[in-house]
């Protein structure tokens, strides 16, 4: 059985899916959105203003007041300032269907055809934007009036670049500013988020530490708490830290209560087992005495006495097992010293061989003597229990192989048989107390099974600082233990 792997290192603050990353990215996106919106809005406003200024200059160039009210009077309006370079001004008159015009200002690129084209445009009250061949876009204002049977047309135009040039530099500027704002907000948000989430990171580290504590055994003391500066109820994270500390207090209390009641139960089992030994010995003794008595007993009484003896013997063994388990639970009183494991395995297998000739018993020992730090008596009991299982839970003719080897600082003992295997439903709990195959199966096997044998194996091996495990494949059941070498 293995514990779920606890997270070892906390993820990096900007790691994928972390809260910091989300906060930073969202803040940056928001800043980018606002900056872009502002730039667009400002650009539109500047465009409006620049175009209005250009139009006002056209109005003044044509000699019309810039108030935008339709001005019917045509006298007294002098052409205003002609503006910067690039101005076009054409004055034309159509008298009796004949067009005559005079160009008072034009850039070199404007040819006669363009002039005629400009004159053919429909007059509008407001300036319009037109493409002038060779000179790009122009903002043009056309005025027409009738004077003494002659139609007088005045066209003034100014290059539209007076709007587009400042607009493009403004757009470039806005773009640069947007990029700068995004970078700045990313850096700032990252710093702020990292600083504000640092207590949370520390909290996570504490939680990880707690999750790695071995709480399943012992008094359940939890020596770790969130530091006071991270358990300050003034902040959200502080409240989590405070709640976490309360939870740890609670857990510690609960574990202490559990430990106390477990100790009581263990003590009770130990006392009860101890107290049961004497009356059991008396029962056995009296039964034996009666059977050996001079008078021949009736057959059924003799049978009953035999049963009393057998059952009280079984019960003594059970009481002894319980006492041993209770002792190993409270304070393992093992006599640990450098012990020759090879000899123990050898003896246990010869005992098994002597006790049972239905099975074949093989032994696989290394050439060198294996010495481990062990309690010889208890280790013998462990191997004997494994061999007893290989004998009692398998049919006659089963081959049992016992192997010993030393590897990586461990003495490994394994008992393998080719019997039917451990029933799947008890495989996971086979080392727990009172786990055994269902009763009918045990009865069929004719055994007196208690389900404590492997629990003792496990408790003794763990008290040695070792491990036990089961490998079950069809036709091959291996119980193995390992304890540290001396």
Ligand X SMILES: Nc1ncnc2c1ncn2[C@@H]1O[C@H](COP(=O)(O)OP(=O)(O)OP(=O)(O)O)[C@@H](O)[C@H]1O
Q: Could you please report the per-residue DSSP string of 281-292?
A: HHHHHHHHHHHH
Residue 94's binding partner out of ligand X, Mg ion, none, with CB under 5 to 8 Å set by partner kind? none
Determine, following the binding rule CB under 6 A, whether residue 140 of this chain makes contact with ligand X: no
Q: Which of 143, 339, 342, 389 binds Mg ion (CB under 5 A)?
A: 389
d(CA 255, CA 296): 61
Q: By C-alpha distance, which of 337, 336, 415, 429 is closest to 383?
A: 415
The answer to whether 381 and 460 have CB atoms below 8 angstroms apart is yes
d(CA 58, CA 162): 12
| Number of chain residues interacting with ligand X (CB under 6 A) | 21
Least distance between Mg ion and beta carbon 390 (Å):
9
Stretch that binds Mg ion, among 232-240, 342-350, 427-435, 447-455 (CB under 5 A): 447-455
d(CA 198, CA 208): 15
Of 305 and 480, the one with the shorter C-beta distance to ligand X is: 480
The sign of the CA dihedral 294, 299, 301, 307 is positive
| Number of chain residues interacting with Mg ion (CB under 5 A) | 2
Residue 417's binding partner out of ligand X, Mg ion, none, with CB under 5 to 8 Å set by partner kind? ligand X
Least distance between ligand X and beta carbon 443 (Å):
12
Determine, following the binding rule CB under 6 A, whether residue 83 of this chain makes contact with ligand X: no
Question: Angle at Cα 147 formed by Cα 143 and Cα 153, nearest 5°?
Answer: 25
Determine, following the binding rule CB under 5 A, whether residue 238 of this chain makes contact with Mg ion: no
d(CA 309, CA 234): 74
Of 164 and 450, the one with the shorter C-beta distance to Mg ion is: 450
Of 114 and 385, the one with the shorter C-beta distance to ligand X is: 385
Residue nearest to ligand X (CB): 453
Within 409-428, the residues that bind ligand X by CB under 6 A are 417, 419, 421-422, 426
Determine, following the binding rule CB under 5 A, whether residue 199 of this chain makes contact with Mg ion: no
The answer to whether 217 and 332 have CB atoms below 8 angstroms apart is no
The sign of the CA dihedral 286, 288, 294, 296 is positive
Of 389 and 435, the one with the shorter C-beta distance to Mg ion is: 389
Q: Which of 63, 79, 123, 451 binds ligand X (CB under 6 A)?
A: 451
Neighbours of 74 (CB within 10 A): 12
The sign of the CA dihedral 288, 292, 295, 300 is positive
Determine, following the binding rule CB under 5 A, whether residue 453 of this chain makes contact with Mg ion: yes
Within 96-125, the residues that bind ligand X by CB under 6 A are none
Least distance between Mg ion and beta carbon 269 (Å):
20
Beta strands in 244-340 (DSSP E): 337-340
Query: Using CB under 6 A as the criterion, what x/- string covers residues 373-402 for binding ligand X?
Result: ----------------xx--xx--------
Beta strands in 36-81 (DSSP E): none
Residue 435's binding partner out of Mg ion, ligand X, none, with CB under 5 to 8 Å set by partner kind? ligand X
Q: By C-alpha distance, which of 86, 44, 43 is closest to 61?
A: 86
Positions touching Mg ion (CB under 5 A) are 389, 453
Positions touching ligand X (CB under 6 A) are 389-390, 393-394, 417, 419, 421-422, 426, 430, 435-437, 449-455, 477
């Amino acid at each position: 059985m293995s514990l779920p792997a606890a997270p070892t290192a906390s993820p990096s603050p900007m790691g994928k899916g972390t809260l910091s990353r989300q906060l930073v990215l969202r803040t940056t996106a928001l800043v980018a959105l606002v900056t872009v919106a502002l730039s667009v809005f400002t650009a539109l406003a500047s465009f409006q203003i620049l175009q209005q200024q250009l139009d006002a200059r056209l109005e003044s160039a044509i000699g019309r007041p810039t108030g935008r009210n339709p001005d019917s009077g045509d006298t007294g309006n002098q052409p205003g300032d002609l503006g910067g370079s690039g101005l076009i001004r054409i004055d034309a008159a159509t008298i009796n269907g004949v067009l005559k015009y005079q160009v008072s200002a034009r850039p070199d690129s404007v040819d006669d055809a363009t002039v005629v084209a400009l004159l053919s445009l429909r007059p509008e009250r407001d300036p319009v934007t037109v493409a002038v061949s060779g000179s790009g876009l122009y903002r043009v204002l056309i005025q027409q009036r009738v004077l003494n049977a002659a139609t007088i047309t005045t066209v003034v135009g100014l290059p539209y670049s007076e709007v587009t040039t400042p607009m493009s530099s403004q757009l470039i500027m806005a773009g640069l500013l947007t990029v700068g704002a995004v970078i700045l907000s990313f850096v700032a948000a990252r710093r702020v988020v990292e600083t504000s989430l640092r207590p949370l990171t520390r909290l996570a580290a504490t939680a990880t530490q707690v999750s790695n504590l071995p709480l399943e055994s012992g008094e359940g003391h939890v020596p770790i708490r969130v530091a006071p500066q991270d358990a300050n109820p003034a902040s959200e994270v502080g409240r989590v830290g405070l709640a976490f500390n309360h939870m740890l207090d609670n857990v510690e209390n609960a574990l202490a209560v559990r430990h106390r009641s477990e100790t009581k139960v263990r003590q009770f089992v130990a006392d009860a087992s101890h107290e049961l030994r004497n009356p059991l010995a008396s029962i056995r003794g009296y039964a034996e005495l009666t059977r050996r008595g001079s008078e021949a007993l009736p057959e059924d009484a003799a049978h009953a006495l035999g049963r009393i003896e057998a059952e009280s013997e079984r019960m003594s063994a059970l009481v002894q097992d319980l006492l041993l388990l209770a002792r190993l639970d409270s304070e393992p009183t093992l006599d640990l010293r450098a012990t020759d494991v090879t000899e123990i395995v050898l003896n246990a297998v010869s005992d098994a061989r002597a006790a049972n000739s239905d099975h074949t018993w093989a032994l696989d020992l290394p050439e060198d003597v294996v010495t481990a730090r062990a309690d010889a008596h208890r280790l013998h009991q462990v191997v004997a229990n494994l061999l007893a299982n290989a004998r009692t839970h398998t049919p006659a003719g089963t081959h049992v192989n016992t192997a010993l080897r030393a590897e990586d600082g461990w003495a490994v003992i394994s008992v393998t048989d080719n019997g039917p295997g451990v029933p799947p439903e008890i495989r996971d709990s086979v080392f727990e107390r009172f786990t055994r195959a269902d009763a009918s199966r045990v009865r069929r096997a004719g055994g007196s099974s208690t389900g404590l044998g492997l629990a003792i194996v496990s408790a003794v091996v763990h008290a040695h600082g070792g491990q036990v495990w089961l490998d079950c494949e069809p036709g091959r059941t291996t119980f193995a233990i390992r304890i540290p070498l001396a």
